[in-house]
Structure 1
Amino acid sequence: MTKTGKLIVLTGPSGVGKGTLLQQLLQACPDLYLAVSATTRSPREGEVDGKHYYFLTKDQFQTRIDQNQLLEWAEYAGNFYGTLRAPVMREITQGKKVILEIELVGARQIRDQVADAFQIFVSPPSVADLEARIRGRGQDSEEAIARRLDQAKVELAAADEFDFQLVNDDLDAAFQTLKSKVLSL
Protein backbone atom coordinates (compact mmCIF):
# COMPACT_ATOMS: atom_id res chain seq x y z
CA MET A 1 0.00 0.00 0.00
CA THR A 2 1.36 3.39 -0.98
CA LYS A 3 1.75 5.93 1.74
CA THR A 4 -0.28 9.06 1.06
CA GLY A 5 1.22 12.44 1.73
CA LYS A 6 -0.51 15.34 3.42
CA LEU A 7 -0.41 19.11 3.18
CA ILE A 8 -0.33 20.80 6.59
CA VAL A 9 -0.86 24.54 6.91
CA LEU A 10 0.42 26.46 9.94
CA THR A 11 -1.09 29.92 10.44
CA GLY A 12 -1.42 32.46 13.22
CA PRO A 13 -0.73 36.10 13.99
CA SER A 14 2.72 37.63 13.85
CA GLY A 15 4.53 37.14 17.16
CA VAL A 16 2.59 34.05 18.24
CA GLY A 17 5.58 31.73 17.94
CA LYS A 18 4.78 29.91 14.69
CA GLY A 19 8.38 30.08 13.49
CA THR A 20 9.78 28.77 16.76
CA LEU A 21 7.27 25.92 16.86
CA LEU A 22 7.97 25.09 13.23
CA GLN A 23 11.74 24.95 13.74
CA GLN A 24 11.32 22.60 16.70
CA LEU A 25 8.92 20.46 14.68
CA LEU A 26 11.31 20.21 11.73
CA GLN A 27 14.14 19.14 14.08
CA ALA A 28 11.96 16.51 15.76
CA CYS A 29 10.37 15.26 12.53
CA PRO A 30 13.06 15.17 9.81
CA ASP A 31 10.67 13.47 7.36
CA LEU A 32 8.55 16.63 7.19
CA TYR A 33 9.09 18.69 4.05
CA LEU A 34 9.00 22.45 4.57
CA ALA A 35 7.57 24.15 1.50
CA VAL A 36 9.79 27.01 0.35
CA SER A 37 7.91 30.18 -0.55
CA ALA A 38 8.49 32.25 -3.66
CA THR A 39 8.91 36.02 -3.39
CA THR A 40 9.66 39.06 -5.50
CA ARG A 41 11.58 40.78 -2.71
CA SER A 42 15.35 40.99 -2.92
CA PRO A 43 17.39 38.37 -1.06
CA ARG A 44 18.72 39.42 2.34
CA GLU A 45 22.31 38.76 3.27
CA GLY A 46 22.90 35.03 3.61
CA GLU A 47 19.65 33.96 1.95
CA VAL A 48 19.99 31.26 -0.70
CA ASP A 49 17.65 30.89 -3.67
CA GLY A 50 15.68 27.66 -3.39
CA LYS A 51 16.51 27.22 0.29
CA HIS A 52 15.13 30.30 2.04
CA TYR A 53 12.90 31.46 -0.83
CA TYR A 54 12.58 31.10 -4.56
CA PHE A 55 13.51 34.63 -5.63
CA LEU A 56 11.54 35.68 -8.71
CA THR A 57 11.09 38.87 -10.68
CA LYS A 58 7.60 40.40 -10.70
CA ASP A 59 7.19 39.24 -14.32
CA GLN A 60 8.19 35.66 -13.39
CA PHE A 61 5.78 35.72 -10.44
CA GLN A 62 2.94 37.08 -12.60
CA THR A 63 3.55 34.33 -15.17
CA ARG A 64 3.18 31.74 -12.40
CA ILE A 65 -0.08 33.35 -11.29
CA ASP A 66 -1.39 33.41 -14.87
CA GLN A 67 -0.43 29.75 -15.40
CA ASN A 68 -1.99 28.57 -12.11
CA GLN A 69 1.41 27.43 -10.82
CA LEU A 70 0.81 28.75 -7.29
CA LEU A 71 -1.23 27.12 -4.52
CA GLU A 72 -1.58 30.51 -2.84
CA TRP A 73 -0.18 34.00 -3.13
CA ALA A 74 -0.55 37.49 -1.74
CA GLU A 75 1.03 40.90 -2.03
CA TYR A 76 2.59 42.38 1.08
CA ALA A 77 4.50 45.65 1.37
CA GLY A 78 4.88 45.92 -2.40
CA ASN A 79 6.23 42.39 -2.90
CA PHE A 80 4.55 39.15 -3.87
CA TYR A 81 4.81 35.97 -1.80
CA GLY A 82 3.41 32.56 -2.68
CA THR A 83 3.77 28.80 -2.70
CA LEU A 84 4.76 27.01 -5.89
CA ARG A 85 2.37 24.16 -6.67
CA ALA A 86 4.80 21.71 -8.36
CA PRO A 87 7.33 21.10 -5.54
CA VAL A 88 4.56 20.75 -2.93
CA MET A 89 2.47 18.34 -4.98
CA ARG A 90 5.57 16.30 -5.95
CA GLU A 91 6.41 15.72 -2.26
CA ILE A 92 2.79 14.86 -1.37
CA THR A 93 2.63 12.40 -4.28
CA GLN A 94 5.80 10.77 -2.91
CA GLY A 95 4.01 10.22 0.41
CA LYS A 96 5.53 13.06 2.41
CA LYS A 97 3.90 15.39 4.86
CA VAL A 98 4.45 18.92 3.58
CA ILE A 99 4.16 21.86 5.95
CA LEU A 100 3.54 25.47 4.99
CA GLU A 101 3.84 28.47 7.30
CA ILE A 102 1.61 31.11 5.73
CA GLU A 103 -0.75 33.97 6.50
CA LEU A 104 -4.56 33.84 6.75
CA VAL A 105 -5.13 34.96 3.14
CA GLY A 106 -2.92 32.15 1.87
CA ALA A 107 -4.50 29.58 4.17
CA ARG A 108 -7.92 30.44 2.74
CA GLN A 109 -6.60 30.03 -0.80
CA ILE A 110 -5.07 26.65 0.10
CA ARG A 111 -8.46 25.53 1.39
CA ASP A 112 -9.88 26.15 -2.10
CA GLN A 113 -6.94 24.46 -3.87
CA VAL A 114 -6.24 21.40 -1.69
CA ALA A 115 -9.46 20.20 -0.09
CA ASP A 116 -7.82 17.67 2.25
CA ALA A 117 -5.11 20.01 3.57
CA PHE A 118 -5.02 20.02 7.37
CA GLN A 119 -5.00 23.55 8.73
CA ILE A 120 -3.61 24.50 12.15
CA PHE A 121 -4.13 27.92 13.72
CA VAL A 122 -1.68 28.99 16.43
CA SER A 123 -3.03 31.63 18.80
CA PRO A 124 -1.71 33.46 21.84
CA PRO A 125 -3.34 33.03 25.26
CA SER A 126 -4.59 36.63 24.87
CA VAL A 127 -4.08 39.75 22.77
CA ALA A 128 -2.25 41.30 25.75
CA ASP A 129 0.22 38.38 25.75
CA LEU A 130 0.73 38.80 22.01
CA GLU A 131 1.40 42.51 22.43
CA ALA A 132 3.96 41.76 25.15
CA ARG A 133 5.72 39.26 22.86
CA ILE A 134 5.82 41.72 19.95
CA ARG A 135 7.12 44.50 22.18
CA GLY A 136 9.64 42.11 23.75
CA ARG A 137 11.26 41.53 20.37
CA GLY A 138 12.16 45.22 20.27
CA GLN A 139 12.02 45.27 16.47
CA ASP A 140 8.98 47.41 15.72
CA SER A 141 7.92 51.03 15.97
CA GLU A 142 4.72 51.91 17.83
CA GLU A 143 2.99 52.29 14.47
CA ALA A 144 4.15 48.85 13.34
CA ILE A 145 3.06 47.30 16.65
CA ALA A 146 -0.39 48.85 16.25
CA ARG A 147 -0.64 47.46 12.68
CA ARG A 148 0.44 43.99 13.82
CA LEU A 149 -2.11 43.99 16.65
CA ASP A 150 -4.92 45.18 14.37
CA GLN A 151 -4.05 42.42 11.90
CA ALA A 152 -3.85 39.89 14.73
CA LYS A 153 -7.41 40.72 15.80
CA VAL A 154 -8.63 40.01 12.24
CA GLU A 155 -6.70 36.73 12.17
CA LEU A 156 -7.88 35.64 15.63
CA ALA A 157 -11.48 36.21 14.55
CA ALA A 158 -10.90 33.62 11.79
CA ALA A 159 -9.48 30.90 14.07
CA ASP A 160 -12.70 28.85 13.92
CA GLU A 161 -12.14 28.31 10.18
CA PHE A 162 -9.24 25.97 10.96
CA ASP A 163 -9.18 22.22 11.57
CA PHE A 164 -7.16 22.53 14.76
CA GLN A 165 -6.48 25.41 17.13
CA LEU A 166 -3.35 25.46 19.24
CA VAL A 167 -2.90 28.01 22.03
CA ASN A 168 0.78 28.78 22.49
CA ASP A 169 0.70 29.64 26.20
CA ASP A 170 3.60 27.33 27.10
CA LEU A 171 6.12 26.67 24.31
CA ASP A 172 7.07 23.13 25.39
CA ALA A 173 3.46 22.04 25.84
CA ALA A 174 2.39 23.69 22.58
CA PHE A 175 5.24 21.98 20.74
CA GLN A 176 4.33 18.53 22.14
CA THR A 177 0.68 19.06 21.14
CA LEU A 178 1.66 20.21 17.65
CA LYS A 179 4.07 17.29 17.18
CA SER A 180 1.45 14.76 18.30
CA LYS A 181 -1.14 16.24 15.96
CA VAL A 182 1.20 16.31 12.95
CA LEU A 183 2.43 12.75 13.57
CA SER A 184 -1.18 11.52 13.83
CA LEU A 185 -2.09 12.80 10.36
Structure 2
Amino acid sequence: MADTTKAGLRQVMPSLFNGIATAIAAAAGLIGLLHQVGYLGNHPRIRSGIEASAHAHPRILDQAVPLAAADTTAPSGLPVSGGDNHAVATAAPIHRNLNGAWRDMGSNCHLIKQTGRDLTVSSYFADNGRLWAVGSGTVKGRTVSVRINATNPASLVADMILSDDGHEMSGMIKGTKGAHVARWRFVGPSCIQTAASRPD
Protein backbone atom coordinates (compact mmCIF):
# COMPACT_ATOMS: atom_id res chain seq x y z
CA MET A 1 0.00 0.00 0.00
CA ALA A 2 2.79 2.40 0.94
CA ASP A 3 4.65 1.52 -2.25
CA THR A 4 1.57 2.28 -4.32
CA THR A 5 1.21 5.71 -2.70
CA LYS A 6 4.86 6.51 -3.31
CA ALA A 7 4.57 5.46 -6.93
CA GLY A 8 1.48 7.69 -7.37
CA LEU A 9 3.29 10.64 -5.84
CA ARG A 10 6.25 10.05 -8.15
CA GLN A 11 3.93 10.26 -11.15
CA VAL A 12 2.06 13.40 -9.92
CA MET A 13 5.12 15.35 -8.76
CA PRO A 14 6.67 16.10 -12.19
CA SER A 15 3.38 17.38 -13.61
CA LEU A 16 2.81 19.44 -10.44
CA PHE A 17 6.31 20.93 -10.68
CA ASN A 18 5.79 21.60 -14.37
CA GLY A 19 2.52 23.43 -13.60
CA ILE A 20 4.15 25.52 -10.87
CA ALA A 21 7.09 26.35 -13.15
CA THR A 22 4.69 27.34 -15.95
CA ALA A 23 2.70 29.57 -13.56
CA ILE A 24 5.92 31.21 -12.29
CA ALA A 25 7.14 31.80 -15.84
CA ALA A 26 3.79 33.33 -16.82
CA ALA A 27 3.81 35.59 -13.74
CA ALA A 28 7.40 36.64 -14.45
CA GLY A 29 6.50 37.41 -18.06
CA LEU A 30 3.49 39.48 -16.96
CA ILE A 31 5.60 41.40 -14.41
CA GLY A 32 8.26 42.04 -17.04
CA LEU A 33 5.65 43.29 -19.50
CA LEU A 34 4.08 45.60 -16.90
CA HIS A 35 7.51 46.94 -15.97
CA GLN A 36 8.41 47.52 -19.62
CA VAL A 37 5.24 49.53 -20.36
CA GLY A 38 5.70 51.53 -17.17
CA TYR A 39 2.98 50.23 -14.87
CA LEU A 40 5.53 48.84 -12.44
CA GLY A 41 8.73 50.41 -11.17
CA ASN A 42 10.23 53.88 -11.71
CA HIS A 43 10.35 53.80 -15.51
CA PRO A 44 12.27 56.86 -16.87
CA ARG A 45 10.19 57.19 -20.07
CA ILE A 46 6.87 57.28 -18.21
CA ARG A 47 8.28 59.58 -15.52
CA SER A 48 9.49 62.08 -18.13
CA GLY A 49 6.08 61.91 -19.83
CA ILE A 50 4.30 62.67 -16.54
CA GLU A 51 6.66 65.56 -15.82
CA ALA A 52 6.14 66.99 -19.31
CA SER A 53 2.38 66.72 -18.86
CA ALA A 54 2.61 68.49 -15.50
CA HIS A 55 4.58 71.36 -17.08
CA ALA A 56 2.19 71.64 -20.02
CA HIS A 57 -0.99 71.46 -17.88
CA PRO A 58 -0.15 72.59 -14.32
CA ARG A 59 -3.83 73.19 -13.48
CA ILE A 60 -4.70 69.50 -14.06
CA LEU A 61 -2.58 68.40 -11.11
CA ASP A 62 -3.61 71.27 -8.84
CA GLN A 63 -7.25 70.59 -8.04
CA ALA A 64 -7.29 73.18 -5.24
CA VAL A 65 -7.62 75.96 -7.85
CA PRO A 66 -11.13 76.25 -9.35
CA LEU A 67 -11.31 75.56 -13.08
CA ALA A 68 -13.01 78.91 -13.70
CA ALA A 69 -10.00 80.70 -12.26
CA ALA A 70 -7.69 78.73 -14.54
CA ASP A 71 -9.71 79.74 -17.61
CA THR A 72 -9.91 83.47 -16.88
CA THR A 73 -7.45 85.80 -18.54
CA ALA A 74 -5.02 87.97 -16.60
CA PRO A 75 -6.24 91.48 -15.71
CA SER A 76 -5.33 94.08 -18.31
CA GLY A 77 -3.29 96.05 -15.76
CA LEU A 78 -0.77 93.24 -15.39
CA PRO A 79 2.26 93.15 -17.68
CA VAL A 80 2.11 90.72 -20.55
CA SER A 81 4.87 88.91 -22.34
CA GLY A 82 7.48 91.06 -24.06
CA GLY A 83 6.25 90.21 -27.56
CA ASP A 84 2.73 91.47 -26.84
CA ASN A 85 3.60 94.82 -25.23
CA HIS A 86 3.81 96.65 -28.58
CA ALA A 87 0.47 95.21 -29.75
CA VAL A 88 -1.26 96.25 -26.53
CA ALA A 89 0.27 99.75 -26.69
CA THR A 90 -0.95 100.31 -30.26
CA ALA A 91 -4.39 98.83 -29.56
CA ALA A 92 -5.00 101.06 -26.52
CA PRO A 93 -3.14 104.37 -26.94
CA ILE A 94 -2.41 106.50 -23.89
CA HIS A 95 -4.62 109.58 -23.73
CA ARG A 96 -2.55 112.73 -23.23
CA ASN A 97 -3.49 115.36 -20.66
CA LEU A 98 -4.71 118.46 -22.54
CA ASN A 99 -6.16 120.35 -19.54
CA GLY A 100 -5.32 124.06 -19.64
CA ALA A 101 -5.24 127.07 -21.94
CA TRP A 102 -4.18 126.93 -25.61
CA ARG A 103 -3.69 129.97 -27.87
CA ASP A 104 -4.26 129.76 -31.61
CA MET A 105 -2.39 131.72 -34.30
CA GLY A 106 -4.83 134.63 -33.89
CA SER A 107 -4.15 134.73 -30.12
CA ASN A 108 -7.66 133.52 -29.28
CA CYS A 109 -7.58 131.37 -26.16
CA HIS A 110 -9.16 127.89 -25.93
CA LEU A 111 -9.55 126.51 -22.40
CA ILE A 112 -9.66 122.71 -22.49
CA LYS A 113 -11.16 120.53 -19.75
CA GLN A 114 -10.51 116.84 -20.30
CA THR A 115 -12.41 113.87 -18.87
CA GLY A 116 -10.94 110.61 -20.17
CA ARG A 117 -10.94 110.96 -23.96
CA ASP A 118 -13.67 113.63 -23.96
CA LEU A 119 -12.87 117.34 -24.19
CA THR A 120 -14.87 120.49 -23.41
CA VAL A 121 -13.37 123.55 -25.10
CA SER A 122 -14.31 127.11 -24.07
CA SER A 123 -13.05 129.65 -26.64
CA TYR A 124 -12.37 133.31 -25.74
CA PHE A 125 -11.67 136.31 -27.99
CA ALA A 126 -8.08 137.55 -28.01
CA ASP A 127 -8.89 141.27 -27.74
CA ASN A 128 -11.49 141.40 -24.94
CA GLY A 129 -11.36 137.92 -23.40
CA ARG A 130 -15.10 137.33 -23.93
CA LEU A 131 -16.41 133.78 -24.33
CA TRP A 132 -17.59 133.26 -27.91
CA ALA A 133 -18.07 129.46 -28.20
CA VAL A 134 -18.18 126.27 -26.17
CA GLY A 135 -17.13 123.22 -28.11
CA SER A 136 -16.51 119.53 -27.58
CA GLY A 137 -13.95 117.06 -28.79
CA THR A 138 -11.98 113.89 -28.26
CA VAL A 139 -8.37 112.85 -27.87
CA LYS A 140 -7.02 109.47 -28.91
CA GLY A 141 -3.31 109.14 -28.35
CA ARG A 142 -1.89 112.24 -30.04
CA THR A 143 -4.90 112.80 -32.34
CA VAL A 144 -7.17 115.66 -31.23
CA SER A 145 -10.51 116.51 -32.84
CA VAL A 146 -12.56 119.54 -31.69
CA ARG A 147 -15.89 120.99 -32.86
CA ILE A 148 -15.54 124.66 -31.92
CA ASN A 149 -19.27 125.17 -31.26
CA ALA A 150 -20.95 122.00 -29.98
CA THR A 151 -24.49 123.36 -30.54
CA ASN A 152 -23.88 124.21 -34.22
CA PRO A 153 -23.39 121.18 -36.52
CA ALA A 154 -21.95 123.50 -39.22
CA SER A 155 -19.32 125.06 -36.95
CA LEU A 156 -15.57 124.81 -37.46
CA VAL A 157 -13.89 121.46 -36.80
CA ALA A 158 -10.23 121.30 -35.84
CA ASP A 159 -8.31 118.09 -36.53
CA MET A 160 -4.84 118.31 -35.01
CA ILE A 161 -1.88 116.23 -33.86
CA LEU A 162 -0.21 116.84 -30.49
CA SER A 163 3.55 117.40 -30.59
CA ASP A 164 5.96 114.99 -28.88
CA ASP A 165 6.52 117.37 -25.96
CA GLY A 166 2.76 117.91 -25.54
CA HIS A 167 3.01 121.72 -25.83
CA GLU A 168 1.65 122.27 -29.32
CA MET A 169 -1.13 121.00 -31.57
CA SER A 170 -1.08 121.51 -35.31
CA GLY A 171 -3.35 120.50 -38.16
CA MET A 172 -6.32 121.88 -40.09
CA ILE A 173 -9.50 123.76 -39.21
CA LYS A 174 -12.35 123.06 -41.62
CA GLY A 175 -15.64 124.87 -42.05
CA THR A 176 -18.27 125.84 -44.62
CA LYS A 177 -15.95 128.52 -46.05
CA GLY A 178 -13.00 126.19 -46.54
CA ALA A 179 -10.03 125.10 -44.49
CA HIS A 180 -6.92 126.68 -43.06
CA VAL A 181 -3.85 125.67 -41.08
CA ALA A 182 -4.27 125.53 -37.31
CA ARG A 183 -1.62 125.74 -34.60
CA TRP A 184 -2.47 125.89 -30.90
CA ARG A 185 0.20 126.39 -28.25
CA PHE A 186 -0.16 125.53 -24.56
CA VAL A 187 0.17 128.69 -22.41
CA GLY A 188 -0.77 127.60 -18.90
CA PRO A 189 -3.64 126.67 -16.62
CA SER A 190 -5.99 129.53 -17.62
CA CYS A 191 -6.69 132.01 -20.42
CA ILE A 192 -5.63 134.99 -18.26
CA GLN A 193 -2.17 135.43 -19.72
CA THR A 194 0.19 138.29 -20.45
CA ALA A 195 0.90 139.42 -23.98
CA ALA A 196 4.35 137.81 -23.68
CA SER A 197 2.73 134.39 -23.66
CA ARG A 198 1.02 134.97 -27.00
CA PRO A 199 2.59 133.71 -30.23
CA ASP A 200 4.61 136.19 -32.30
TM range (shorter): under 0.3
Structure 1 or 2: more helix by fraction: 1
- Structure 1 or 2, whichever has the larger Rg, is 2
TM-score (norm 1): 0.21
Structure 1 or 2: more strand by fraction: 2
TM-score (norm 2): 0.20
